[in-house]
Amino acid sequence: MVGLGVLSLSSSLQLRAQEKASGDAAKPGTTTAGPDAKTEPSYSGTYGFLKEGEFVQLTVEDAGHVTGFISRFGDGESDKGEFLDQFFKSGKIEGSKLTFTTEIVRGVGFGFKGTVERGEGKNPGDEAYFVLKGTLTEVESASDANKKVTSHSQDVAFKMFPRDAAPAAGK
């Protein structure tokens, strides 16, 4: 029963994130359509994360400021399988160069440094229309007396979810 609750929560969070992202696409200056020469692509949206059911919600705001969060499953003994939201502590985008760091939640934080690139999606709103490519660094801080901090970096490619996707479960 717990597994179904996690799937339901995951679907609900993804849907809310996607609804918010699709609303962001309508903001002036965030799409490639229109006569304004200053318009830029809307990179705002929901992207897959490391595991099935996990995601990154990215919102590009004015002046290159980026907000968002990572929603992921806990890996520790006390939070194994629990859904954790890690909000961005800082984030910015300059052209297609993207960086963000998250708050530390249960001893784990993330940093991303990379680019937003066009993916294999054919039209805006298609799955993988944009892809976040770069290096993801996971930082773990120990809670023991030594306060040892370890980090692990890996190359990643997070594909944008389709904008009109909805959970498979019926209402």
* C-beta atoms surrounding 99 within 10 Å: 15
CB proximity list for 115: less than 8 A, separation 6 or greater: 96, 97, 98, 132, 133, 134
Structure confidence at residue 4 as a pLDDT band (50, 70, 90): very low
Q: Is residue 166 part of a domain?
A: no
The residue range of the domain holding 84 is 2-30+41-159
Q: Report the pLDDT value the prediction gives residue 148, as an integer from 0 to 100.
A: 82
**Structural domain includes residue 61:** yes
pLDDT tens-digit series, residues 36-91: 434 567 899 999 999 999 999 999 998 899 999 999 998 877 788 889 999 999 99
Is 168 contained in some domain?
no
pLDDT at res. 21:
43
Higher pLDDT, residue 131 or 149: 131
Q: Considering the domain boundaries, does residue 36 fall inside one?
A: no
The total of structural domains in the chain comes to 1
- Residue 48 located in a structural domain: yes
Residue 19: which CATH number?
Answer: 2.40.128.30
Please check the confidence at residue 152 and state whether its pLDDT lies above 70.
Answer: yes
Rounded to the nearest integer, the mean pLDDT of the chain is: 79
Element (H, E) at 15: helix 2-24
What's the rounded mean pLDDT across residues 31-39?
A: 42
